[in-house]
Amino acid sequence: MTGQLPIPVLVNGAAGKMGREVVKAIAQTTDLTLIGAVDRSPEYQGLDIGELAGCGELEVPVTDQFEPMLAMLAQEKELGVMVDFTHPDSVYSNIRSAIAYGIRPVVGTTGLSAKQLQELAEFADKASTGCLVIPNFSIGMVLLQQAAIQASQHFEHVEIIELHHNQKADAPSGTALQTAQMLAEFGKTFNPPTVQETEKLPGARGSVADAEIRIHSIRLPGLIAHQEVIFGAPGQVYTLRHDTSDRACYMPGVLLAIRKVIQLKTLVYGLEKLL
Ligand SMILES: NC(=O)C1=CN([C@@H]2O[C@H](COP(=O)(O)OP(=O)(O)OC[C@H]3O[C@@H](n4cnc5c(N)ncnc54)[C@H](OP(=O)(O)O)[C@@H]3O)[C@@H](O)[C@H]2O)C=CC1
Ligand SMILES: O=C(O)C1=N[C@H](C(=O)O)C[C@H](O)C1
């Protein structure tokens, strides 16, 4: 907490699957206060977000008026935070708008390109405004990625499978892309060809990400969010797997990010940098 007052938070995408979890998590704290709930869905306009999220009335109605809410948040005595769980198509401009108002973004929405991230980092830098972009807020995924980095020093072959619910807009997942990027950071290239391959169906071998790491995306009802990183070598396979069974798993990371972002003056990418 800065001073005596709670950190004012605006949740963008508040009526969505993640937005509702964030609203519930904030309502259970004493050092954060929900001051706005933005969502574009017409069916939820004017409804109390607390009722919608299942944590009781919060006297915060859902609105689609993002910019006016940012302007209102900018008037608060304490530094304001905008949590974004919206859509890959709008996240870039949401972050720019928040920073322009001096609001600190905590971003879970995936789908930002490397170029967009670079531009946002420069924008945040110039404005001396903290911004957190976190492809995955769960501690289990951070641990998986750390184990994968360690294993990558010893294996030449690795592929990633990510499995998600079939409402997910982007593929591959932000987490899978980040994982490949983390393994590529040590300058190694994986999966040297062992045979001339032919794809009888385009995409059968997945997509090629950083350092020649292949990513395969599965979308099915019944899934939430899952990832496997599979290393292979002659005579052995080493599989790392993380399973999400409830979106509550992301909330400790989201709350940590809200509390940290107000201390930052630049854009930081990845939960591991906060731990
Ligand atoms: N970083 C992490 O740990 C996690 C990240 N995610 C990411 O978060 C994002 C959201 O996921 P999820 O909650 O499952 O998605 P949902 O579709 O359930 O929720 C998104 C909500 O935001 C609304 N919305 C979309 N665009 C806008 C906009 N421009 N302005 C205001 N509201 C908007 C949607 O309305 P409508 O339905 O009308 O489009 C919907 O109500 C995805 O990118 C997902 O990959 C998800 C889980 C964890
Ligand atoms: O859409 C989701 O659900 C998730 N999205 C994030 C991603 O793309 O990596 C994080 C997690 O996998 C859940």
CATH of the domain at 65: 3.40.50.720
Kindly give the number of the ligand 2 atom that is closest to the alpha carbon of 173: 8
Nearest CA to ligand 1 atom 35: 41
Share of the chain above pLDDT 70, in %: 99
CATH number of the domain at 187, please.
3.30.360.10
Q: Is 108 annotated as a binding residue?
A: yes
* Distance between CA atoms of residues 228 and 156, nearest Å: 17
Same domain, 128 and 159: no
Beta carbon of 178 within 6 Å of any ligand 1 atom:
no
3-state secondary structure of 10: strand
So what's the pLDDT on residue 96?
Answer: 98
Question: Minimum-distance ligand to the CA of 16?
Answer: 1
Q: Are residues 75 and 171 in the same domain?
A: no
**Residue 54: CB partners within 8 Å, gap ≥ 6?**
20, 24
Cα 182 from Cα 211, distance rounded (Å) = 10
Structure tokens at 59: 């006297």
Residue 244 annotated as binding site: no
Alpha carbon distance 231, 228 (integer Å):
10
Which residue's CA is the nearest one to ligand 1's atom 27?
A: 86
- Predicted confidence (pLDDT) per residue in 51-106, tens digit: 999 999 999 999 999 999 999 999 999 999 999 999 999 999 999 999 999 999 99
The pLDDT tens digits for 34-45 are: 999 999 999 999
Chain CA centroid to CA 21, Å: 14
ipTM of the complex as predicted: 0.99
Instruction: Specify whether 191 is located in the same domain as 150.
Output: yes
Does 184 fall in a domain?
Answer: yes
3 to each of 31, 58, 79, 117, 266, how far by Cα in Å?
10, 24, 11, 32, 22
Do residues 175 and 257 share a domain? no
Would residue 167 count as lying in a domain?
yes
Q: How far apart are CA 178 and CA 243, in angstroms?
A: 17
Structural domain count, the chain: 2
Residue 1 within a domain = no
Split at pLDDT 50, 70, 90, the class of 253 is very high
Same domain, yes or no: 237 and 194: yes
- For residue 270, the number of C-alpha atoms closer than 13 Å in the C-beta half-sphere is 14
For residues 85 and 195, membership in a common domain is answered with: no
Task: List the domain range (segments joined by +) for residue 143.
Answer: 139-244
Q: Choose the residue to mutate in 18, 107, 110 for probing ligand 2, maximizing ligand atoms within 8 Å of C-beta.
A: 110
Structure tokens at 212: 């020649």
Q: Is 225 a member of any domain?
A: yes
Nearest CA to ligand 2 atom 8: 173
Residue 203 has pLDDT above 80, yes or no: yes
Question: How long is the chain?
Answer: 275
pLDDT of residue 169: 96
**Residue 3: per-residue pLDDT:** 55
